[in-house]
Structure 1
Amino acid sequence: MKKVALIICLLVASLGAKAQFEQGKWIVNPSLTGLDFSYTKNDKAKFGVGAQVGTFVAEGIALMVNAGADWSKPIDIYTIGAGGRFYFNKTGIYLGAGFDLNRYRLNGGHGDTDWGLGVEAGYAFFLSRTVTLEPAVYYKWRFNDSDLSKFGIKLGFGFYF
């Protein structure tokens, strides 16, 4: 019963954030915690950082650009991409999708580039009128090498202006 009451309280609290999803507002979403835990066939687990920036083009619809980096051994990965988010009924629940480009660099200097498609689902929990805590699950499918596709969870912060 406590869990149900907590969920209801969180949803009611997020209803006050409806003005933040209006056209013309900006969102900055860094994963400041550095938490980007994911699982792939090649790497059992990794940690990385990333950031997204975007603007709402209509109520509840944001266009985003993103960048990220992972400096784990033996491969460094740099990512840049673009996509969008759709927020459901001003509650903070969202679905996102987009394309990205990964640049892989091995310790020996050899590198490779790969395109991919990503989807994510998350929740923007408002800590204040403009700051959110945003847990999400995602899947990134790689076009050239499906062994590099990954499923993961991430935790970031959102700043809505």
Structure 2
Amino acid sequence: MRKIILVLVVVLTSSLVNAQEKKGDGQTSEGKWLIEVNTGFGTPMGANTGFSYSSTNGDSVYNIGAEAGYFVVNDLAVKVGLGYGGMNTDIFDTNIFSYKIGAKYYIVSMFPVQVDYSGATMKDEPEDPSYLGLQAGYAWFLGSNVSIEPGIRYNLSLNNNYSDQDTFQVNVGFALHF
């Protein structure tokens, strides 16, 4: 039984790799552009370049943002992101401007891994949050220009006021490739 399962896993994996295989003009080829919008569940306070909204007991937090990247070589994109949001809670009532810079690499053109630095500017705060982000996922290409990229992310806080704010996230990204 184990041998049958192993054979099925190998066949399924090779089928996925072949189905996702990129030709010289694939979605992650050198010279291509990427525009990406993410939803973030578990997003850190500030430093969000995706879409999010939450409201609990009259406290609300929202954000809108996007990221763009350029493939400098096959499967490796250099990315930047911007976001704008706000918090209306008992503790904060402020607007937040977020930014991100990083690199995203697609292993075998279908498993994106990303390393980035993100931060935010928050009005009336003595120190703004900043994070080192690490994420990984799977790119499901829905044709030549669109992909859905579910993934996981860890944000490591880089400053004292937010040192206990390390966060783990689940993301669903939607990307345009051109």
**TM-score in same-fold range (> 0.5):** yes
Residue 125 of structure 1 and its aligned partner are, at CA, apart by 0.5
SS in 1 for 2:129: strand
Residue 139 of structure 1 and its aligned partner are, at CA, apart by 0.8
Residue 67 of structure 1 corresponds to 82
Q: Does 1:26 align with 2:45?
A: no
Structure 2 unmatched ranges of 5 or more: 46-53
Taking the aligned partners of 1:65 and 1:39, their CA distance within structure 2 comes to: 18
- Which one is further off, 22-31 or 73-82? 73-82
SS in 2 for 1:13: helix
Taking the aligned partners of 2:96 and 2:166, their CA distance within structure 1 comes to: 13
Conservation of the 8 A alpha-carbon contact between 2:17 and 2:108? no
Residues matched between the structures, number: 150
Residue 124 of structure 1 and its aligned partner are, at CA, apart by 1.3
- Aligned mate of 2:145, from 130, 155, 161: 130
Conservation of the 8 A alpha-carbon contact between 1:38 and 1:47? no
RMSD: 3.0
Residue 100 of structure 2 corresponds to 81
Taking the aligned partners of 2:41 and 2:84, their CA distance within structure 1 comes to: 13
Q: Does 1:116 align with 2:122?
A: no
- Aligned mate of 2:172, from 150, 155, 159: 155
TM-score normalised according to structure 1 size: 0.77
Rg larger in 1 or in 2? 2
Taking the aligned partners of 1:146 and 1:56, their CA distance within structure 2 comes to: 33
Residue 50 of structure 1 and its aligned partner are, at CA, apart by 3.2
Conservation of the 8 A alpha-carbon contact between 1:124 and 1:158? no
Structure 1 unmatched ranges of 5 or more: none
Conservation of the 8 A alpha-carbon contact between 2:44 and 2:155? no
The one-letter amino acid paired with 1:149 is D
Conservation of the 8 A alpha-carbon contact between 1:36 and 1:49? no
Residue 41 of structure 2 corresponds to 37
- Aligned mate of 2:70, from 44, 55, 59: 55
Taking the aligned partners of 1:17 and 1:138, their CA distance within structure 2 comes to: 29
- Aligned mate of 2:21, from 15, 19, 25: 15
Residue 26 of structure 1 and its aligned partner are, at CA, apart by 0.5
Matched residues, percent identical?
26
Taking the aligned partners of 2:158 and 2:128, their CA distance within structure 1 comes to: 10
SS in 1 for 2:88: coil
TM-score normalised according to structure 2 size: 0.70
Residue 113 of structure 1 and its aligned partner are, at CA, apart by 1.2
